[in-house]
Amino acid sequence: MNILLFPDDRLRMDCEPVKNISGGLSAFLERLKETMYINKGCVGIAAPQTGELIRAVVVDVTGHKKASCRSGLLVLINPAIVSGSGAVVTREGCLSVPDFTGNVERRDNIGVSYLDAAGNERHLETSGFEAVVIQHEVDHLDGILFTDRVKNARTDLFRRKNY
């Protein structure tokens, strides 16, 4: 799937909730998952990054050196972060903003409610890197990029040397 790049206006749009789980959605989520795995180092991707303005993300931090909490592949439909505590500053990057990384402060522990790929209601409590990735992807559903969360562009935004 093609990845939208900043400053594409679709990256700034609020996404619509998924109203029904269908075969078309399942096929789209499979392509989204494949797109995440094909991009080396990618641990999450949101539907709007591919131009599909729906509230769906996939996340998998398995095997990432920063991940202490690993839930495996997560398909989150209509995710809502319902609790959070602690704070952590991490260096974030994004497929849609390939030329930069930035220091972003996020909650270190979160609770997220969502529908899984089968339409079942789920709740996940997670922390650390996995929590950060989920927050980053949920931001995409609200038209927010990590660069919007960088406190000081002069000291906390960095040109990426390679991708």
Active site residues: 137
Token pair of 105 as six digits = 């402060």
Bridge partners of residue 122, in order along the sequence? 114
Q: Which of 86, 77, 88 is nearest to 133 (CA)?
A: 88
Match 């990432």 to its residue by tokens: 64
Helices within the chain (DSSP H only): 23-38, 128-141, 146-149, 153-156
Which tokens is 112 given?
Answer: 């997220």
Cα–Cα distance measured from residue 133 to residue 129, given in angstroms and rounded to the nearest whole number = 6
Residue identified by tokens 């989520």 is 29
The identity of residue 34, as a single letter, is E
DSSP bridge pairs for 94: 97
